[in-house]
Homo-oligomer: A and B are copies of this chain.
Amino acid sequence: MDFSEIKGVILDMDGVLWRGDYPLLDLPDFFSRLKSLGLQVVLATNNSTRSVPQYLEKLNGFEVVLGPENIVTSSMAAASYLSQKYPSGAPVYVIGEIGLKDTLREWGFYYSEAEKDVVAVVAGLDRNLNYHILTRGVQLIYHGAEFIGTNPDRTFPSPSGLTPGTGALLAFIQAATGRDPIVMGKPEPYLFQLSLQRMGLPSSQVLVVGDRLDTDILGAQRIGCKSVLVLSGVTTPQEIAVPNPAQPHSIVPDFILNNVEELPGLISNADEI
């Protein structure tokens, strides 16, 4: 592959850059090498609960200084999607945490529960979820509001064990309304499309790096980006070692690395060949 085409990278965070609070590589060195290769960088996450300042603070804790332009979340993809229909904002009903609520507000979307007003129900992980919150969302969708989900993840790891994710919450609303959500996060295209737009690059000039076949790599294939699977997260070498004849259309990354720290080498060495 001709890596001289590559002008930008979209990086997943958890399982690629860190696991929880532990960095998986020398992060300051990694980002300075990407910079010296002249690559644009976007960190793209399905997580809708954290705000951009929270991510920048986390990166700062690892001695990495990036700007808000380097972060794209599924909350931002939802706000961007909505602003194409309602450029000057609109009333929405939000099920979610601060990352989603703040982002929608910044883009001009304000909270409402009124049937006559609400144009969309935007649902993301909400650990303060209760029956009343869900019921209002269901009733608003019943009355015609659009149903938007931030991400499809059905579980996520937490210190207390595996924990229900946005996908479980969406399944509740789906069952009660009979309606499918428009989902913003990977493997759907919206999050990556916003990342490309942010860099001002076509998909042919961007590499997607992640640790999950069914979100990162599948999502990359869908928007036409080359993909790099790293084995530092949830995917084991065994899962990708042998093509599965029962799944002829299984998801295959363009490159596989043990750790994302090999990425600058891959790109610069290939340039020299």
Binding site for B on A (CB under 8 A): 126-131, 134-135, 138-139, 142, 154-155, 160-165, 167-176, 178
Closest 3 CB pairs of A and B: A171-B175, A164-B176, A168-B176
- Residues of B near A138 (CB, < 8 A) are 155, 162-164, 168
Inter-chain pairs besides A139-B163, A162-B176, A167-B176, 5 sampled, C-beta below 8 Å: A135-B160, A135-B163, A154-B176, A168-B172, A171-B175
The residues of B that contact A163 with a CB separation of less than 8 Å are 135, 138-139
Complex-state Cα separation, A128 to B131, whole angstroms: 6
Q: How many copies does the complex hold?
A: 2
What residues of B have a CB within 8 angstroms of the CB of A128 in the complex?
A: 130-131
Are the CB atoms of B162 and A139 closer together than 8 Å? yes
B residues within 8 A CB of A160? 135, 139
- Which residue of A131, A142, A165, A169 has the most chain B CB atoms within 10 A of its CB atom? A131
**Cβ–Cβ < 8 Å partners of A135 in chain B:** 160, 163-164
Q: Which residues of the partner chain B approach A174 to less than 8 Å between Cβ atoms?
A: 171
* 26 chain-A/chain-B pairs, Cβ below 8 angstroms: A127-B131, A128-B130, A129-B131, A130-B131, A135-B160, A135-B164, A138-B155, A138-B163, A138-B164, A139-B163, A142-B161, A142-B162, A154-B178, A155-B176, A162-B176, A164-B175, A167-B175, A167-B176, A168-B172, A168-B173, A168-B175, A168-B176, A170-B175, A171-B171, A171-B172, A171-B174
Instruction: Please tell me if the beta carbons of A164 and B127 are within 8 angstroms of each other in the complex.
Output: no
Which residues of B lie under 8 Å from residue A155 when comparing CB positions? 138, 176
The docked-state distance in angstroms from the alpha carbon of A139 to that of B160 is: 9
CA distance A167 to B162 in the complex (A): 22
A169 touching B168 in the complex, CB below 8 Å, given contacts A135-B163, A139-B162, A142-B162: no
With both beta carbons as reference points, the residue of chain B lying nearest to A155 in the complex is identified as B176
Q: Please give, as numbers and ranges, the residues of chain B lying within 8 Å of A139 by CB-CB distance.
A: 160-163
**Roughly how many angstroms separate A165 CA and B164 CA in the complex, as a whole number?**
19
Give complex CA distance A162, B135 in Å: 9
On whether the beta carbons of A164 and B134 are closer than 8 Å, the reply is: yes
- Which one of A134, A135, A165, A173 has the highest number of Cβ atoms from chain B below 10 Å of its Cβ? A135
- State the Cβ distance, A49 to closest chain B Cβ, in Å: 12
A165 vs B169: C-alpha distance when bound (angstroms): 14
Compute how far the CA of A142 lies from the CA of B168 in the bound complex, rounded to whole angstroms.
14
CA distance A163 to B168 in the complex (A): 18
